[in-house]
């Protein structure tokens, strides 16, 4: 029988070097940034009870209606792989009584799972960096969340990022808006897309982010919520805009940003980039003052966002920002068995003292083949020991960037290592 051919599940990806190094570098930078803003890391399980997402994210959302990886465990519990982090973060904070301690700032990096139709920038397992800021009702916290996300686009020099801002109102003004939308769409019910017809009565705001051409003319003429905001929501929105101006963060008010999750109120935002094509949002978030309470907790205002790491890296690649990874490390090259034995203690020592990788290859190869491997490893230096060098009691240290050679005495491993460390500084 032919052996089976195994492939990664549809919509998932493997990350191998040097791609995995780009991920690590991005994650390291994100952690530094989040910590600089005063956020601490939270890690939650990859799966939770399905009910948490039904209650938390909303039963009319795409995520809950059709995208969850849902399964029954061996004790017949209804579970789902995490399709987003916000509901689990609130669940964990409640479970550990973290809200009792006052304001709370948490960040996370990790996978989410959504059964979507895979395409460029859309995966079934993707990865998010996100933050959740609890305990502040004022627009200062909205600014803080947006500023953190924006700072990431700034440090990477993503020039085409656009911050789209909207307000979804609150319990006072939203019901009025709902009625206005129903009045607007109902007369055209027959011409709307099937999805929109189904959604209209349950969740009319979702029609505003429909991409279906059948809906387009009616979406375009729908009344903007901004015109119907109550006084308190309007004040909040205006204050946020003023803060953004003060912080020098450019934005556009986009009434089409309604977000696909039910927990939002007041501020919502998305950061988009033209290089992403149809899946243009790299980051989405907003305020969700009612979620903690609806999951059984106290009244705790909250705001947060999540940023898709796949999409962020796609932008860097398209804008050629990531570039080639810089050369790092030493390739130890031995020509012949005797040289190989002489290099073993040196490699061991190098791995103790160097902050860069030491690559070793134990095959018999020609020098040229070894150098090719060094290039593939993106090594900065090659430490070459052949029979000639062995006889002369020397090592050749080649700078692979400039193609220059230097000779070192072949001594005990620690002496060679010391010479290399010295050469570094
Ligand atoms: P979301 O808009 O569903 O929000 O996802 C945020 C970001 O995650 C998207 O803008 C996108 O970059 C990335 N993303 C989502 N699904 C996929 C996918 N299938 N493939 C690739 N990337 C994807 C949330 O998840 C909210 N929990 C954000 C939030 C946090 N709101 C408040 N706090």
Tell me the per-residue pLDDT of 73-88, one tens digit each, with 9 for 90 and over: 999 999 999 999 999 9
Beta-carbon contacts of 134 under 8 Å, excluding residues fewer than 6 positions away, are: 93, 99, 103, 104, 105, 106, 292, 300, 301, 302
pLDDT tens readout for residues 12-48: 999 998 889 899 999 999 999 999 999 999 999 999 9
Which runs of consecutive H residues, i.e. helices, occur in 37-138? 50-57, 62, 86-95
142 lines ligand 1 (CB under 6 A): no
Longest dimension (CA), the chain: 93
pLDDT band, residue 195 (cuts 50/70/90): confident
Residue 125 forms beta bridges with which residues? 113
Distance 309 CA to ligand 1 centre (A): 10
Residue 285 CA, closest ligand 1 atom number? 31
What are the backbone dihedrals phi and psi of residue 311, each rounded to the nearest 5 degrees, phi first? -65, -35
CB of 268 closer than 6 angstroms to any ligand 1 atom: no
425 pLDDT more than 90: no
Residue 311 alpha carbon, nearest atom of ligand 1: 12
Residue 395 contacts residue 339 (beta carbons within 8 Å):
no
| CA atoms of 331 and 377, how far apart (whole Å) | 8
Helix (H, G, I), strand (E, B) or coil at 351: helix
**Residue 149 beta carbon below 6 angstroms from any ligand 1 atom:** no
Q: How confident is the model at residue 209 (pLDDT cuts 50, 70, 90)?
A: confident
Cα–Cα distance list, 313 to 61, 151, 188 (Å): 27, 16, 41
Question: Does 86 sit in the ligand 1 pocket, CB within 6 Å?
Answer: yes
Model pLDDT, residue 319: 87
Please name the helix (run of DSSP H) or strand (run of DSSP E) that holds residue 114, with its range, or none.
none
**Probe target for ligand 1 pocket from 148, 306, 313, 314, with the most ligand atoms within 8 Å of CB:** 306
CATH top-level class for 19-173+229-318?
Answer: alpha beta
Q: Which helix (H) or strand (E) is 249 found in, with range?
A: none
pLDDT digits (tens, 9 = 90+) for 234-263: 999 999 999 999 999 999 999 989 998 999
Q: What's the pTM value of the predicted model, to 2 decimals?
A: 0.90
The residue ranking higher by pLDDT, 53 or 423, is: 53
- CA-nearest of 303, 247, 306 to 271 is 306
**Residue 115, H or E segment:** none
- pLDDT number for residue 42: 98
Label residue 277 left, alpha or beta by phi (over 0 means left) and psi (-120 to 50 means alpha): left
Q: Which CATH architecture has domain 330-423?
A: 3-Layer(aba) Sandwich (3.40)
> What is the SS3 assignment for 285?
strand
Give the pLDDT confidence score for residue 151 in this predicted structure. 97
340 Cβ inside 6 Å of ligand 1: no
Q: Which of 315-324, 346-355, 362-371, 414-423 has the lowest mean pLDDT?
A: 315-324
Could you give the percent of the chain with pLDDT greater than 90? 83
What is the domain partition of the chain in residue ranges? 19-173+229-318, 330-423
State how far the Cα of 156 lies from the Cα of 240, in Å rounded to an integer: 25
Q: Where are the beta strands (DSSP E) in 172-266?
A: 252-253
pLDDT score of 419: 85
Alpha helices for 156-203 (secondary structure H) = 174-185, 194-199
45 CA from centroid of ligand 1 (Å): 18
Q: What is the mean pLDDT of residues 285-290?
A: 98
Our answer on whether the CB atom of 82 is closer than 6 Å to any ligand 1 atom is no
Record the tokens describing residue 339, joined without a space. Answer: 């040289």
Name the residue of 104, 128, 144 to mutate for ligand 1: max ligand atoms within 8 A of Cβ. 128
Find all residues with CB under 8 Å of 166, minimum gap 6, and list them.
225, 226, 253, 254, 255, 256, 257, 258, 267, 268, 269
Is the C-beta atom of 123 inside 6 A of ligand 1? yes
What was the pLDDT predicted at 1?
Answer: 65
What pLDDT, on the 0 to 100 scale, is given for residue 60? 85
Q: What is residue 86's three-state secondary structure?
A: helix
3-state helix, strand, coil in the chain (%, to 5): 45, 20, 35
Collapsing DSSP to helix, strand or coil, 195 comes out as helix
Calculate mean pLDDT across residues 293-299.
97
Residue 322, pLDDT > 70, answer no
pLDDT at residue 324 tops 60? no
Where are the alpha helices (H) located in 39-156, listed in sequence order? 50-57, 62, 86-95, 139-155
Give distance in angstroms: CA of 366 to centre of ligand 1.
50
Whether residue 315 has pLDDT greater than 60: yes
The residue-averaged pLDDT of 171-177 equals 93
Query: How much of the chain exceeds pLDDT 70, in percent?
Result: 98
Nearest CA to ligand 1 atom 13: 308
pLDDT value, residue 140: 98
Identify the CA nearest to 339 among candidates 400, 391, 382. 391
**Beta partners for 386?**
none
Distance 373 CA to ligand 1 centre (A): 39
- In the chain the first and final C-alpha atoms are separated, in Å, by 58
The pLDDT of residue 311 is 97
Q: How far apart are CA 416 and CA 425, in angstroms?
A: 15
Strands (E) located in 219-293 = 252-253, 267-272, 281-287
Tell me the best of 161, 284, 291 to mutate to test the pocket of ligand 1, counting ligand atoms within 8 Å of each CB and taking the most: 284
In this prediction, residue 278 carries a pLDDT of: 76
Average pLDDT, the chain: 94
CA of 85 to the centre of ligand 1 (A): 9
> How is residue 385 written in tokens?
């020991």
Higher-scoring residue by pLDDT: 232, 412: 232
Question: What DSSP character marks residue 262?
Answer: T
pLDDT at 170: 95
Residue 328 has pLDDT above 60, yes or no: yes
CA distances from residue 229 to 190, 289, 407 in whole angstroms, order as listed? 29, 17, 75
114 touches ligand 1 (CB under 6 Å): yes
Q: Taking 90 as the threshold, does the pLDDT of residue 323 lie above it?
A: no
Closest to 164 in 3D by CA, of 225, 255, 97: 255
Ligand 1 in contact with 281 (CB < 6 A)? yes
Say yes or no: CB of residue 226 within 6 Å of ligand 1. no
Which pLDDT score is estimated for 320? Answer: 80
Q: Indicate if ligand 1 lies below 6 Å from the C-beta of 107.
A: no
How high is the pLDDT of residue 28? Answer: 96
State mean pLDDT over 131-152: 98
Confidence of residue 375 (pLDDT cuts 50, 70, 90): very high
């Amino acid at each position: 029988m032919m052996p089976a051919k195994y492939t990664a599940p549809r919509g998932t990806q493997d990350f191998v070097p040097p791609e995995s190094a780009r991920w690590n570098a991005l994650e390291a930078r994100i952690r530094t940034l989040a910590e600089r803003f005063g956020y601490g890391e939270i890690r939650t399980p990859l799966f939770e009870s399905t009910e948490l997402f039904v209650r938390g994210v909303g039963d009319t959302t795409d995520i809950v209606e059709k995208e969850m990886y849902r399964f029954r465990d061996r004790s017949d519990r209804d579970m789902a792989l995490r399709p987003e982090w916000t509901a689990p973060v609130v669940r964990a904070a409640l479970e550990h009584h973290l809200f009792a301690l006052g304001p709370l700032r948490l960040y996370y990096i990790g996978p989410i799972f959504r059964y979507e139709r895979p395409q460029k920038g859309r995966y079934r397992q993707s990865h998010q960096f996100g933050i959740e800021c609890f305990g502040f009702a004022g627009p200062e916290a909205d600014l803080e969340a947006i500023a953190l996300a924006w700072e990431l686009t700034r440090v990477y020099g993503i020039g085409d990022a656009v911050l789209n801002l909207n307000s979804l109102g609150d319990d006072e003004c939203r019901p009025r808006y709902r009625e206005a939308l129903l009045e607007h769409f109902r007369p055209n019910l027959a011409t709307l897309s099937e999805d929109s017809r189904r959604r209209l009565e349950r969740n009319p705001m979702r029609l505003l982010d429909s991409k279906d051409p059948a809906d387009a003319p009616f979406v375009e003429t729908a009344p903007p919520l901004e015109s119907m905001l109550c006084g308190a929501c309007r004040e909040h929105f205006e204050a946020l805009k003023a803060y953004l101006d003060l912080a020098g963060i450019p934005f556009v008010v986009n009434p089409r940003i309604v977000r696909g999750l039910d927990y939002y109120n007041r501020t919502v935002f998305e950061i988009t980039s033209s290089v992403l094509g149809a899946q243009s949002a790299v980051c989405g978030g907003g305020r969700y003052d009612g979620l903690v309470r609806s999951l059984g907790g106290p009244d705790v205002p909250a705001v947060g966002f999540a940023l898709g790491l796949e999409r962020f890296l796609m932008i860097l690649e398209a804008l050629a920002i990531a570039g080639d990874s810089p050369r790092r490390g030493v390739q130890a090259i031995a020509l012949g068995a005797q040289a190989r034995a002489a290099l073993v203690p040196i490699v061991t020592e190098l791995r103790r003292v160097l902050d860069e990788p030491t690559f070793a290859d134990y095959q018999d190869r020609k020098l040229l083949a070894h150098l090719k491997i060094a290039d593939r490893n993106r090594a900065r230096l090659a430490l070459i020991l052949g029979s000639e060098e062995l006889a002369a009691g020397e090592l050749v240290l080649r700078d692979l960037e400039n193609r220059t050679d230097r000779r070192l005495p072949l001594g005990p491993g620690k002496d060679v290592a010391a010479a290399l460390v010295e050469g570094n500084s």
